[in-house]
Every structure is written in C-alpha cells, then in structure tokens.
Structure 1
Amino acid sequence: MRRLTFVFPGDLARPTGGYGYDRRIIAELRDMGWTVETLSLIGAYPFPTDRERAAAAEAFAAIPDRSLVVVDGLAFAVLPEIARTHARRLGLVGLVHHPLSHESGLNTAAIRTLHESEREALACARAVIVTAPKTSKLVVEEFGVDAGVVTVAEPGTDRFGHALGRGDPPVLLTLGSLIERKGHDVLIDALKRLTDLPWRARFVGEASDPEWAAMLRERAAGLGERVTFAGPTDNAHHELLGADIFVLPSRYEGYGMAFTEALACGLPVVGCPVGVLPDVLRDGSGTMVPVGDVDALERALRDLLSDPKRRAETARAAARAGSLLPVWAETAHRFGAALERVAP
C-alpha cells in the first residue's frame, strides 16, 4: 500500500526552502494516491534538549511496525539513537537537504558532533533521498552511505509566468532566511557602493537567527528606505514576479530553490557558485561571483542596474533557462519510486 509517515521538526508551514520542499512533496504524493500522515517533532532542532529527544523517542515508538517513515534531515541527522532503535521494525528513509555540519557559523565541536550524528543516523536508513546531485556525492563520500540506496529528487518549479521587469526604480529581491549562510551581509556591503544608481532592495525571509538579523538591519541602516526587510512570505512567487533582479550571495547551499524559482519567473540571477546555481545558470541568464567578494558583487549588480537593455536580455535568457527546469510532478514521481523500492 502507498502509505507513509512523514516526520519533520516544528511547524511544516515555516517559510523556508526545506520546509517548502517537504510541503510540496507531501501534497504531490497525496495527488499520486499516497496516504501521507504527518508527524511534527517539537523542539529546538537541530539541537534538541534531552526532554525533546525523549518526546521524539515516544513519537517514533507509537508508529506501527512495518511502517514506511520519511524523516526530514533536520531531525533525522540528530536522532541516531532513535534511528538505531527502530531501523529493523520501520522502513526509515532519510531526506537530506544538505548535511547539517555544513551550516555556516558552527564551531569545530558542533561540526564534529553533527557530522558523526548524521553519519550514524544515515547508516540506519533503508533509503536516502537528497535534493541535489552534489549532496548525493557528499553523503556517499563523507558519510559512508551506499550509493545504491541514494536517490536524487531535485526540487521542482512552478510556472506562474514571468516578471515584467519594469520597476522604477528597479527592484532587487533577495529571498532566504536571515542567517549567516545566505550572505546578506555581503549584499548590504555591495549595495552601499551603489547609491549613485536608482534601485530598491527587498530582503524577504524569516529571521531564523535573530542576532544575525538584527546585525543586518543595523548594517543597512544608512541606506534608509531603499532597503526593506519584509519578513517571511507565504507567496514567494508574488515577490519574484514583482522584482527586476534576483540576488542571493549564499556562502553555501545544498540546492538553492530560490535560484530556480527566480529563473522560472524570468529574473536575472546574481549569486555565487554554490548549490545548483552552476548547473542551471546558463546562456547569459545571470552572473556568478566568488563567495564573499563584495567588489565582484557590486560590479555584477552595477552592470545590470545601469544597462536596462542588458537587464532585459538577461531576463529573456533566464526565462529560457527556467523553462528547462523540472516541474514538481517529476520530482514527486522520483521520490515515490524511491519509497516503493524500500517499502516494508
């Protein structure tokens, strides 16, 4: 039977790429005839307390024998003891958006702990589903996962039309949680050098790290009303369709759904060679700059902001690149096929 339990930490409605992927996969699988039950684990993941770990253990113990269980990596990677306990009676499937030890801002001890924890948990999974080919290589080479149990199910894209690109002044959109890994600090420093040009910038995303978010607002204070911290959104496509340029100088991405969504909306993209961007940014659809390079980011944005003709040409190239990306139904079929191969 096509039946599974999908486990994730916290609120599935959180406006992040990882949770967005989970929501969409659940919806698509249900459309394909799967019965999907959801199980939310309460706690401060990826660093749950002992009490929160105990609650998670009780939740897993209540799942019936021979159930197929998909566990989001934000929880699975830090619950190796639960994975070991239930590996025989449940069909555990680990979903890896990106290894937790690759997150920015961690100290050496946290990196080591998360790496070993995720390695132990993944060893208990009957299948591992990753969202990018590069992540597939990582889980095999760094975490010892058998390549034969790994499936790549890249995020899909929707087709909501293309941005008109007629902002006056042009709108720079950055879409992502306000965390160190996303490189918003580099973007703000580049924007400070572009005050001779007309533009507005919208920073859309939740303040997942409140201290980092506060630092960003302070850093951007001198730019006044030209910069808006809009908070999270449940309608990213509305933001994308209202923008002229998409920019996100991430230091690291497991995939980077915001980049592909921007291309699907026909937006010129400026980012760094991380995640999926080197694979999808083709034929003049945008610019990649080195990670952390304020000078290069300033030049890339200046070229697009100061030349409307070039910006329009880049937008058309972005739309062509976006049309080649997979849709969510394709992603769900790959995901579902991986589940069927290991169902108890």
Structure 2
Amino acid sequence: MSTVHLVVPQGVDDPRRPSGGNTYDRRLAASLTALGRTVVVDPVPGPWPGADVALEVALGRLPDGAVAVVDGLLAGGAPFAVLEHRGRLRLVVIVHLPLGVGADPRSPVVRVESAVLAAVDAVVTTSRWTARWLETSYGLEPHRVRVALPGADRAPVAPYGPGGRLLCVGAVTAVKGQDVLLDALARLDDRGRRDWSARIVGSTDVDPAFAEDVRRRAAAFAGRVTLTGPLAGADLDAAWAGADLLVVPSRVETYGLVVTEALGHGVPVLGSAVGGLPEALGTTPDGRPGTLVPAGPDALATALLGWLTDAGRRTRWRDRARRRRDHLAGWDTTAHAVDAVLADVAAGVAA
C-alpha cells in the first residue's frame, strides 16, 4: 500500500506560523513522496487540541483500510475521532510534544492522550527523549513507539562575527523562554557587559499577553533587543548569516529543530539542558558545538558571559558547529524511518 494520508493542522504551510512541528510535517510529506509514496495531505481546521469533530470528519472521508498518519496535536485531544475509526483505519500518530508534558498526571489531558496513543497502531516520536517519556509516563510498550528524528539542511555557513550577535528563534511563548533570555541579558548589563545585541525571531500571536510583556521588557535595552516577528525564506537566511550564537532558553523542548537549523549554518548553540535538546545539539570528536546549561537566567547569564569574554571558546564552538554540520542527517533519513513504520502498519505487524 503506497498511499498514505497525512492528517495535519490547517496552516502547516503558513509562513506566519512557523514551528518545528509544521516544518516536520511539511518536510515529511515531501520526503515520503520522494521515496515513491503517494502522500495525500488532509488539513484539519482548529482550534487544536480539541478539534474532535473536525478530525472525525477528516478521518471519516478516508476509505476502509487506509493508512493515516495523524499529527499528535490533533489526535491527542480528539479521543472520540480516533477511537471511532480505530480498526477501520490503520492509524499512526506523530507526537512532536506530548500534551501531557508538565500536566498533572491525574488531569484529563493525560488520561485522554494516553488512551488515544494506546489505541492506535503505532506512535512515532521526533526524539528518543519523547519516546522514553511516553513509555514511562503513559506506559506505552516500547515496540509500539518508534523514533524518526527530524532532518536538517546544510545551508550556507554563517561568517564568523565578533561574537555578540545573539539569535533566539521560536514562537514567543513561556515554553520557549524569551523572558528567561531577557533576565539573563539584564544580568549581563548588571556586570557591565553591553557588547551584544539580540534578535528574537518568532510569532507573537500564540500568546499575545506574554509576547507583549516580552516586547515591553525588550524596550528597556535601548534597541539592543529586537522582536522581528516570524521570518521565512531570504529574511530568515539573513538572520542566520548575521548570527554568532543561537540561544535556546526553553523551559520545555522535546527536540529543538531550530538547533539543527543553526548547526546547518555552522552557528553554535547555547541552550537549556531540557528534554531532547542534547539529541539535537549532538557532539563532535572534539566536543559539543556549544553547551547546555540548567534552565534559568543565572546559568544562562554565566554561559553568555563566558562566550563573550573567551575568544578561544568562541573559536572552538564555531569550529565544532561546522564539523557537526557536515554530519547532519537529511530529511530522507526521517522519511525512511517513518516509511518503515508505515510498512509494518500496512502489514499488520506494528502493534
């Protein structure tokens, strides 16, 4: 069976709403097509999670026995739609970020999502960390959870700069931690270090109140912190070309596709030691192309100070980032991993 239906949130190709999950879904569709699969993309209108009726309609259109790969943002909050079609369809859920991460284990979201994932034919996660979390927190059997790491592109290498050009890419939300970055930058100012600038790239529409607070606080840095909104194409390429260091101050991160995007440009990374970020950062024979520190402004400020004041460290991290770039796996590797799951599901052996 070569046809697969990829059921995704509506707007995954909207440049105003870039995200790691959207990128993954788009690139997976293209890469499975390149492998010879017929991929039918079925967008589902929001809001998500909770679009049970919309997902029910989308799945209801599919013929008996069809293989459907459903984005976890849809499936995790739509138990009735999934359970209604379990058995009639061959269902695979791709979990980018479990809805239950950070939730009370007794909460409805945990009960619902764990029941949905236990009911489908297979689960694909985008990091080993997420797979372990699902096995430990939801009791999923390891053989039913498969990992397909995101791919990366080897882009033009960013030229070496003075070191102080910081870049933070991601939707402006509490999860992504731009407030943590601002707190860390304020600590640098307190120590007399003002030889830096920071660009915060990402949508401000996901959590408008949080984003407005970040914007207000950024104004206190007299132009050294700018919020650009989401960037794509040549504008995003220019942001990478003008960056010395990617800063990822996230509170939660199941993988961190932006990390491999930075490494694809030869840009080193300073991030929080959370979730799947160590997998994304990886290492070289000489060490990591950057570093990960405990989440929070104190450790981040200390690491930023070390980066700004130690030219040798900057050179080492940059050189390692370029070496790591040369060994990044492409999206074809992701597609092969998912294709193997689809073959097992079609043959009835995945569960």
Fold conserved (TM > 0.5)?
yes
Alignment partner, residue 43 of structure 1: 46
- 1:234 deviation in Å? 2.0
* Structure 2 counterpart of 1:146, one-letter code: E
| Aligned mate of 2:327, from 302, 305, 324 | 324
Structure 2 unaligned regions, length at least 5: none
| Aligned mate of 1:314, from 309, 314, 317 | 317
CA distance in 1, matches of 2:257, 2:275: 9
* 1:27-106 alignment runs, 5 A limit: 27-46=30-49, 48=50, 52-102=51-101
CA contact (8 A) 1:197 1:305 kept: no
CA contact (8 A) 2:130 2:276 kept: no
SS state at 1:173 partner: strand
- 1:193 deviation in Å? 2.6
**Greater mean deviation of Cα atoms: 209-218 or 259-268:** 259-268
* Structure 2 counterpart of 1:61, one-letter code: G
Alignment partner, residue 224 of structure 1: 222
CA contact (8 A) 1:129 1:150 kept: yes
- 1:284 deviation in Å? 4.3
SS state at 1:267 partner: coil
- 1:56 deviation in Å? 2.5
Alignment partner, residue 166 of structure 2: 172
Verify: 1:253 aligned to 2:250, yes or no: no
* Structure 1 counterpart of 2:202, one-letter code: G
CA distance in 2, matches of 1:194, 1:146: 46
CA distance in 1, matches of 2:229, 2:311: 29
* Structure 2 counterpart of 1:93, one-letter code: V
SS state at 2:119 partner: coil
Alignment partner, residue 10 of structure 1: 10
* Structure 2 counterpart of 1:160, one-letter code: A
Alignment partner, residue 130 of structure 2: 135
Q: Give every structure 1 segment of 4 or more consecutive aligned residues whose post-TM-superposition deviation is greater than 4 Å.
A: none
CA contact (8 A) 1:247 1:271 kept: yes
Q: How many residues align?
A: 334
CA contact (8 A) 1:197 1:306 kept: no
* 1:16-31 alignment runs, 5 A limit: 16-31=19-34
Alpha-carbon RMSD across the aligned residues, in angstroms, is 1.8
SS state at 1:193 partner: helix
* Structure 1 counterpart of 2:212, one-letter code: A
* Structure 1 counterpart of 2:199, one-letter code: R
- 1:67 deviation in Å? 0.6
- 1:87 deviation in Å? 0.7
Verify: 1:145 aligned to 2:143, yes or no: no
- 1:26 deviation in Å? 0.5
* 1:198-237 alignment runs, 5 A limit: 198-207=195-204, 208-235=206-233, 236-237=236-237
Alignment partner, residue 287 of structure 1: 291
- 1:323 deviation in Å? 2.7
CA contact (8 A) 1:190 1:298 kept: yes
Alignment partner, residue 185 of structure 1: 179
- 1:59 deviation in Å? 2.2
- 1:281 deviation in Å? 4.3
SS state at 2:227 partner: strand
CA distance in 2, matches of 1:11, 1:113: 27
1:112-144 superposed Cα distances (whole Å, 9 cap, x missing partner): 121111111112211111111111112222222
SS state at 2:12 partner: coil
* Structure 2 counterpart of 1:199, one-letter code: W
1:145-204 superposed Cα distances (whole Å, 9 cap, x missing partner): 22112211001111113211225x731000111111111111001112324332211101
TM-score for the superposition, normalised by structure 1? 0.92
SS state at 1:233 partner: coil
Alignment partner, residue 271 of structure 1: 271
CA distance in 2, matches of 1:136, 1:295: 30
TM-score for the superposition, normalised by structure 2? 0.90
SS state at 1:115 partner: helix
* Structure 2 counterpart of 1:80, one-letter code: P
SS state at 2:252 partner: coil
SS state at 2:222 partner: helix
CA distance in 2, matches of 1:299, 1:145: 39
CA distance in 1, matches of 2:27, 2:167: 23
CA distance in 2, matches of 1:281, 1:315: 14
- 1:93 deviation in Å? 0.3
CA distance in 1, matches of 2:55, 2:100: 21
SS state at 1:137 partner: helix
* Structure 1 counterpart of 2:42, one-letter code: L
- 1:277 deviation in Å? 2.7
SS state at 1:310 partner: helix
Structure 1 unaligned regions, length at least 5: none
* Structure 1 counterpart of 2:44, one-letter code: L
